[in-house]
Amino acid sequence: MTTPTPVSGPHTHAPGGIATDMTWVALALLPATAFGIYLFGWPALNLLLVTVTSALAFEAVCLKLARRPLRPALSDGSALVTGLLLALTLPPWSPWWIGVLGAGFALVVGKHVFGGLGQNLFNPAMLARVALLISFPLEMTTWVIPQPLFTPGAPGFLEGVAITFAGAPVPDALTGATVLGQAQTGLSQDLGLSRSLEGVYDPLHQALGWIPASLGEGSALLLLAGGMVLLARRIIPWEIPLALLGTLALLATAFMLVDPECHAGPGLHLSSGGVLLAAFFIATDPVTSPATRAGRLLFGAGCGLLVFVIRTWGGYPEGIAFAILLMNAMTPLIDHYLRPRTFGRTRRGRPLEPTQTAPDGAGRRP
Amino acid sequence: MTFAIRPLLQDYRQLFRDGLWDNNVVTGQLLALCPLLAVTGTATNGLGLGLATTFVLVASGLLVSLFRGIITPEVRIPVFILLIASLVTLVDLVMNAYLYAMHQALGLFIPLIVTNCAILGRAEAFASRQPVHRAVADGLAMGLGFTLILVVLGAVREIPGQGTLFADARLLLGEGFAWMELTLIPDYRGLLLMILPPGAFLALGFILAGKRVLDARRSARTAPQGATAATP
């Protein structure tokens, strides 16, 4: 046995914490959120407020039940971001109880049952979205065509309140299928993609978000910009979005080249169904994603592969929520096999000689 | 030979206490989860499977305990399974003949009572070493405890799931029990999640947590001084 030589520890201090990160995430989501509210009008704003408020309320109730202090957990913004992310993935004209039930499921079953922030196995917002989609298939697939605020066709404030809180029916004329839904319906009727997407898929509208979609999933450009801010601030790791989007784009391109009439191209796949929102803001949740670079690459690639598989051969036209939940479930396994290097040891677990420069890559950041 | 009635009653009380609460098949031993999760879409289905299982538990306790002197340890497991399987076949045929609709609703899970680990577990751990009267009492207690959880879980899933309680009870218990069929929320569109398998896991998780909270409160009340009780 060698005598241990004292080596100074890592004393670098990173300022900031959960609250700072969560604030940045919320800020990065702000452009896409604001644009979503502009596109879908007052009902969308009502839904957003209901969801975020009830997320905070459920967080407070759970903390109270667990006899934990309210202030630190409520002010760190994690419940707020969960509520915000959930609201952004809901159909914008959903009734209020969708938001309340979803926030309750996310916070109670998705987070506090496991022991609160940092203990949960699954991303709470995605868990709630899937629970809502399975429980209320009708409400969760009623997509409205964009009705921007202050345009003639848009509902006024009172009409918005009626749509969100009083269950005023959404006129059929205002609803439409999502691009992915349209593609799947078309394929099931043996129409080619070029015919079933005629007049529905327009790359420019798709990039701007001028499409029937969830509250915040639409605008590809604004989501991309928000994601870039988080990447630049190093709040999210680059591996997960890169691997997710790269895998999905690669698969989409390969299948499109084989048969363009049956498989949509990478542009459609990446810009629709909330893939960008999920890749930058949801799959990167530090609690439910792996800890190492290799693990994150694997995690992101797995999400991309599953999205493609679910969209192409599955029953649901959109699959990102399921994909993320399935890969969340794999995270403990990935972390078991791909572990970060222990400080002061080589990757194989042998102690480092204090003076020796590390042989196999030790000394790099894990 | 004196026949002391008081210790016997106390003994039975302990057996029932174990079966219904402390050592409940589901909440105490975490056995028999497969049929539990699969059939509790409604409280009536839970009640049906619970009663069938209770009958098998009582009868298998009786038979195993009766023959415990002549079953050699080497072949005990196949013999127990043989006894249990005969009883389950009996239940299966009787239900098919007289409760056809219920039999259809419970489907495969009636024959699968054979593989219910709670039954083999009680035969092995209890009935094969106990006198007949205790084995029968234990089978009844365990069966009623299982039925209790089945009905509670069925109700917890059925009420939010489809807004009713004991729907179709008359299929199981006859026309006289039509009053049990309650519609708690009229014109309810249903919460599909609770009827589907994930709802069973969620509800069971909350029931297990609830029992632990109650037990912790009870032990904190009975022993307030000394050892620190676990906070729920």
**Domain limits, chain B:** 12-218
SS3 for A175? strand
Question: What is the structure's pLDDT at A104?
Answer: 95
Calculate the average pLDDT of chain B.
87
As a whole number of angstroms, the distance between CA A117 and CA A294 comes to: 25
Q: What is the ipTM of this complex?
A: 0.78
Question: What is the structure's pLDDT at A173?
Answer: 65
Q: What is the mean pLDDT of each run of 10 residues along chain A (366 residues)?
A: 64 76 92 91 93 96 90 89 94 92 94 90 94 89 83 80 80 74 77 72 78 83 93 93 95 90 84 88 93 94 95 84 95 91 82 64 47
**With 90 as the cut, is the pLDDT of residue B91 above it?**
yes
Distance from the Cα of B228 to chain A's closest Cα (Å) equals: 17
Distance from the Cα of A66 to chain B's closest Cα (Å) equals: 8
Q: Are the beta carbons of A184 and A252 closer than 8 angstroms? A: no
3-state SS of chain B: helix, strand, coil percent to 5?
75, 0, 25
Is A342 an 8 Å CB contact of chain B? no
Distance from the Cα of B21 to chain A's closest Cα (Å) equals: 23
Question: What is the structure's pLDDT at B150?
Answer: 94
Residue type, B212: R
**Residues of B with Cβ-Cβ distance to A134 under 8 angstroms:** 192-193, 196, 198
More confident residue, B177 or A57: A57
Q: Which of B191, B205, B231 sits opposite A135 (nearest CB)?
A: B191
Question: What is the structure's pLDDT at A206?
Answer: 78
As a whole number of angstroms, the distance between CA B53 and CA B47 comes to: 10
Mean pLDDT across B191-199? 88
The reply to whether residue B202 touches residue A109, judged by beta carbons under 8 angstroms, is yes
Question: What is the structure's pLDDT at B227?
Answer: 47
Six-digit token string for A38: 């502009």
**With 60 as the cut, is the pLDDT of residue B103 above it?**
yes
**Residues of B with Cβ-Cβ distance to A109 under 8 angstroms:** 202
Is A131 an 8 Å CB contact of chain B? yes
Q: What would the pLDDT profile of B163-176 be if each residue is shown by its tens digit?
A: 888 888 887 777 77
**With 60 as the cut, is the pLDDT of residue B232 above it?**
no
The reply to whether residue B193 touches residue A134, judged by beta carbons under 8 angstroms, is yes
Least confident of A276-280, B88-92, B127-131, B225-229: B225-229
Least confident of A61-65, B181-185, B193-197: B181-185
Least confident of A341-350, B11-20, B223-232: B223-232
Question: What is the structure's pLDDT at A82?
Answer: 95
Question: What is the structure's pLDDT at A161?
Answer: 85
Q: For residue A41, is it left (φ>0), alpha (ψ between -120 and 50) or beta?
A: left
SS3 for A94? coil
- What distances in angstroms separate CA B231 from CA A159, B15, B216, B218, B228, one per listed residue? 49, 28, 7, 11, 9
Is A136 an 8 Å CB contact of chain B? yes
Which of B162, B192, B217 to mutate to test binding with chain A, by most A CBs within 10 Å of its CB?
B192
**Residues of B with Cβ-Cβ distance to A322 under 8 angstroms:** none
Question: What is the structure's pLDDT at B57?
Answer: 95
As a whole number of angstroms, the distance between CA B85 and CA B157 comes to: 30
Which of A67, A135, A140, A142 to mutate to test binding with chain B, by most B CBs within 10 Å of its CB?
A135
Question: What is the structure's pLDDT at A73?
Answer: 84
Q: What would the pLDDT profile of B52-73 be if each residue is shown by its tens digit?
A: 999 999 999 999 999 999 999 8
Exposed/middle/buried for residue A48 (C-beta within 10 Å: 0-12, 13-18, 19+): buried
- What distances in angstroms separate CA A219 from CA A180, A216, B14, one per listed residue? 15, 7, 66
Reported pTM: 0.84
